[in-house]
Amino acid sequence: MDDRIPFGYGRVVKDLGIHVLYVLAVPEKPEICKVGIADNPFKRFGSIQSSNWSELKLYRHWWTNGRLLSVRVEQAVLDELSPMKLRGEWFSVLPETAAACIVEHAAKMDIKLLEEPEIRKFVAKAFPPL
């Protein structure tokens, strides 16, 4: 997938009212990750990266049908991972473990998780190439 953010991305995401759950990884320390929510994962990642001394990686993200659903899943994940909490939403856990935890809790709550290619299709329909 092209890593560039397509024209109109932020506007479509806002208009759809969708929200994202994400896992950030620290390549230098593969056992550390951050779990969070945002309305735009790329803006959020940039904000966190600019204030972090270590290189970060947007390990994985999923879209939900609104902020309230993202918050529900995030809270369940934060509760489950709390024994491994370092600070805030940073955990001493492999990113793939945190990602599996998100998928598991969303499934238990019957909350559909959309992948990035699905969102980019909406953007392409809203802003077709000239």
pLDDT in tens, 8-45: 677 777 777 889 999 999 999 999 999 999 988 888 88
Residue pair 12/127 in contact by the 8 Å Cβ criterion:
yes
Per-residue pLDDT at 1 exceeds 50: no
* pLDDT at position 130: 58
Which pTM was predicted? 0.86
Computed over every residue of the chain, the mean pLDDT equals 88
